[in-house]
Amino acid sequence: MKRRSFLQTAAALSAAPMLACSRKTAPPLPPGTLSGNDFALGHRLRNPDFPEPGETRRTPVLIIGAGIAGLSAAWRLARAGVRDFMIVDLEATAGGNARYGESAICRYPFGAHYLPLPTMESTAVRHLLADFGGLQGDPRLERPSYDERLLCHTPQERVYHKGIWQEGPIPRLGASADDRQQWLRFHARMAEFKEARDFLGRRAFALPVAAASRDARWLGFDSVTMAEWLAAENFDSVPLHWYVNYACRDDFGTDYRQTSAWAGIHYFACRNGQAANAGGDAVLTAPEGNGWIVRRLTEKLADRLLTGAACFRLEQQTKTVTADLFLKVEGRSIRIVAEQVVWAAALFVLPRVAVSLPAPLAALAGAGEYAPWLVANLSLSELPAAGVGAPLSWDNVLYDAPGLGYVVATHQQVRIAPGPSVFTYYRVLSELPPAKARELLMNSSREAWATTILEELGRAHPDLPALTTRLDVFRHGHAMIRPLPGVVHSSARQALVNGWQRVQFAHADLSGMSLFEEANYHGVRAAEVILSRLGVGESSLLA
């Protein structure tokens, strides 16, 4: 019997009697909210029935979308002294996948919870971190220092398997000699890919992807799936497959049987960032995840940021672009006349709102598939019992569980007293086709999710359900573009980089991978195109 199928059976078996007795004794479900992306407003864009604009405003630059890409574009413009712009977002708050919440206990993420040390190629990310004090000293150094409050405190990660917590991302106790050998061989392969460069000196798996080699030696990996690549390389270790699949689900919201091998390898091979005061596997994090960057990016925007504003029509005029926005709270529409526009929202929305968008661009923009996500924040009156083995870490993964585990929001606090905390639980529905997954996400109640999540985490922490005082569920309908084979390196996609007359596109969708570094790269790139059109002489941050 395969270990995987056995464990599933065992889990189901052991859950059954526990459920039977928990019905009698289990505490009632903790209260909480069901929130997330404004599906209703988003879906109205399919058949716009918004009131016609009654007011016209003018701005030299309009940025549509206030996720990391849009906010990075705004940051780049402001850095060059261009402060006359507007940035709008359909959602009630800015930040996109890096939004966050806050309670009396602490801040906590609604999405992305960390940033790896930036690679040498991620020059704009380094400048951004330096502007906000996260990176100290010269951002061009190979090994800069990082703010130690942001470097993830030890212990960083652990995995729960057969009743025991083990340090690290993959269970080692109980692994066979062959598992260990394959694990080492896999790492050796990824280390080779990390170093691999073409004759121009470009890395095979650079981050951002725009800096990566186009050599066919490696682009070939974009035509097979990660699971196929593992099989072709004679990797058959069950824990290794689990781990690689975990990585693809975690970073791309996509099962490794569907993820492009290029993207899968990229996850392991792209990160070569180093720090003077930490190891290369360090990550930058805060209680609110990447929300700390959103806070810094939005703090000086003031009234230039307009949220709850859905762009339902975008049209090129002779010397301007007009964008019609529905203001949700006020229930009316306004028209923005802009000289330049950055489209920093998800690309699939563009064909629905752009008037006379050329057909090839519309086809490209609408081609992406998106993975939905569910993020739940569990407020706990105190930390659950330590459990057997490795101590509570920042990232805590349950082997072979449906979810991706949980992150402890209070981990970066310096505390020795036990106290309340927030666990952020991540779930990607990669076992279903995206449309089905979205349907499930939208049609399931908070109570249903809460029950499932408490059951799943209760396997490792039997006392957790009783300690949970709130369980807030946050839904992302189109969280991440899925890097299926052919998506990242489709040559047609290049056309998107050239923009559409006065509209520049800036979104991680352009890279085919939903990563902070990609969003930031495209935001900065679009802003720099506009800076040059505005005649602002600035040396590029992308070189």
Partner 1 sequence: MADRAQTVPASPPARLQLPLLASVFLVAACGLAYELIAGALASYLLGDSVTQFSTVIGTYLFAMGLGSWWSKHIDRDLVARFVQIEISVGLLGGFAAAGLSLAFAASTGPFRTLLYGTVLAIGILVGLEIPLVMRILRRELAFNELVARVLSFDYLGALVVSLVFPLLLAPHLGLVRTGLLFGLINALVALWALWLFRQVLVRRRALTGFAIVSIILLLAGFAAAGRITSLAEGWLYADDIIHTETTPYQRIVITRWHEDIRLFLNQNLQFSSNDEYRYHEALVHPGLAALPAARRVLVLGGGDGLALREILKYPGVESVTLVDLDPAMTRLFSNSPLLRQLNNDSLNSPRVRVVNADAARWLEDNDDSFDFIVADFPDPTNYAVGKLYTTAFYRLLDKHLAAHGLLVVQTTSPYYARHSFWSVAATLEEAGMTTSPYHALVPSFGEWGFILAGHMPYVPPSRYEVPLRFLTPATTATMFEFPADMARVAAPANHMNDQSLVRSFEAEWRHALH
Please identify which residue in 366, 419, 420, 486 interacts with partner 1, judged by CB under 8 A: 419
Cα end-to-end span (Å), the chain: 54
Query: In angstroms, rounded to a whole number, what is the distance separating the alpha carbons of residues 237 and 76?
Result: 46
12 scored as a contact of partner 1 (CB under 8 A): no
Q: What's the closest the beta carbon of residue 509 comes to partner 1, in angstroms?
A: 33
386 scored as a contact of partner 1 (CB under 8 A): yes
- Letters for 166-205 (x = contact with partner 1 by CB under 8 A, - = none) are -x-----xx-------------------------------
- The values of phi and psi at residue 156, to 5°, are -85, -45
Please identify which residue in 184, 276, 355, 388 interacts with partner 1, judged by CB under 8 A: 388
Find out whether 306 and 88 touch, Cβ atoms under 8 Å. yes
154 scored as a contact of partner 1 (CB under 8 A): yes
Q: How far lies 32's CA from each of 10, 378, 446, in Å?
A: 31, 9, 8
416 scored as a contact of partner 1 (CB under 8 A): yes
**Structure tokens, 431:** 């076992």
Please identify which residue in 8, 13, 231, 402 interacts with partner 1, judged by CB under 8 A: 13
Region binding partner 1 by CB under 8 A among candidate stretches 66-74, 256-264, 347-355, 383-391: 383-391
Hey, how many other C-beta atoms are within 10 angstroms of the C-beta on 371?
26
Q: Which residues touch 181 (CB under 8 Å, ≥6 apart)?
A: none
Nearest residue to 285 (alpha-carbon basis) of 412, 145, 120, 422 = 412
152 scored as a contact of partner 1 (CB under 8 A): yes
**Structure tokens, 316:** 């090129």
Region binding partner 1 by CB under 8 A among candidate stretches 156-164, 397-405, 442-450, 494-502: 156-164
Q: How far lies 432's CA from each of 34, 254, 374, in Å?
A: 21, 10, 14
148 scored as a contact of partner 1 (CB under 8 A): yes
415 scored as a contact of partner 1 (CB under 8 A): yes
- 388: DSSP letter: S
Question: Of the two residues 400 and 509, which places its CB atom closer to partner 1 in the complex?
Answer: 400
- The values of phi and psi at residue 501, to 5°, are 50, -110
- Letters for 261-280 (x = contact with partner 1 by CB under 8 A, - = none) are ----------------xxx-
Find out whether 158 and 458 touch, Cβ atoms under 8 Å. no
Q: How far lies 50's CA from each of 41, 62, 89, 93, 333, in Å?
A: 10, 20, 16, 21, 7
- Letters for 420-459 (x = contact with partner 1 by CB under 8 A, - = none) are ---------------------------------------x
Query: In angstroms, rounded to a whole number, what is the distance separating the alpha carbons of residues 511 and 491?
Result: 11
Q: What's the closest the beta carbon of residue 156 comes to partner 1, in angstroms?
A: 8
Question: Of the two residues 278 and 365, which places its CB atom closer to partner 1 in the complex?
Answer: 278
Q: What's the closest the beta carbon of residue 412 comes to partner 1, in angstroms?
A: 8
385 scored as a contact of partner 1 (CB under 8 A): yes
**Structure tokens, 485:** 């084979």
162 scored as a contact of partner 1 (CB under 8 A): yes
1 scored as a contact of partner 1 (CB under 8 A): yes
164 scored as a contact of partner 1 (CB under 8 A): yes
Please identify which residue in 391, 433, 436, 492 interacts with partner 1, judged by CB under 8 A: 391
How many residues at the interface with partner 1, by CB under 8 A? 43
Q: Which residue has the tokens 């992305």?
A: 112
Q: What's the closest the beta carbon of residue 239 comes to partner 1, in angstroms?
A: 16
Question: Of the two residues 31 and 280, which places its CB atom closer to partner 1 in the complex?
Answer: 280
Find out whether 411 and 394 touch, Cβ atoms under 8 Å. yes
- In this structure, the strands spanning 100-102 and 107-109 are antiparallel
19 scored as a contact of partner 1 (CB under 8 A): no
- 490: DSSP letter: -
Contact set for partner 1, span 454-473 (CB under 8 A): 459, 462-463
Q: How many CA atoms lie within 13 A of 394 on its CB side?
A: 22
Single-letter amino acid, residue 171: P
In the complex, the residues that contact partner 1 under the rule CB under 8 A are: 1, 6, 9-10, 13-14, 18, 148-149, 151-156, 162-164, 167, 173-174, 277-279, 282, 385-391, 412-419, 459, 462-463
